[in-house]
Amino acid sequence: MKKADLVTIMIVAAVICGFAFIPGAWTWFNETTKAHGLLMSFFKFAILGTFGEMLALRIREGVYLKKGFGLVPKMLVWGVLGVVIASAMTIFKTGTVKLLDGGFHLNGKAAEWFAGSLSWGKFFVALCVSVLMNTLFAPVFMTFHKITDIHIAETGGTLKGFFSNPLKIRETLSKKINWDIQYGFVFAKTIPLFWYPAHTITFLLPGTLQVLFAAFLGVVLGVLLSIKK
DSSP 205: S
- pLDDT for the residue numbered 222: 72
Convert the pLDDT of each residue in 193-224 to its tens digit.
999 999 999 999 998 889 889 988 878 877 77
Convert the pLDDT of each residue in 48-94 to its tens digit.
999 999 998 998 888 999 999 999 999 999 999 999 999 999 999 99
Q: What is the mean pLDDT of the chain?
A: 91
Cα–Cα distance, 107 to 98 (Å, whole number): 10
Residue of 16, 14, 35 lying closest to 26 (CA atoms):
16
- pLDDT for the residue numbered 82: 93
- 43 has a pLDDT exceeding 80: yes
Arithmetic mean of pLDDT, 139-149: 94
Question: How many C-alpha atoms does 79 have within 13 Å on its Cβ side?
Answer: 12
- pLDDT for the residue numbered 221: 77
- pLDDT for the residue numbered 208: 84
Arithmetic mean of pLDDT, 2-7: 86
List Cβ neighbours of 127 (8 Å cut-off, separation of 6 or more). Answer: 196, 200
Cα–Cα distance, 198 to 20 (Å, whole number): 24
Convert the pLDDT of each residue in 164-204 to its tens digit.
999 999 999 999 999 998 999 889 999 999 999 999 999 99
The domains of the chain are located at 1-35, 37-228
Helices 71-98/138-154 angle, 10° precision? 170
- pLDDT for the residue numbered 103: 82
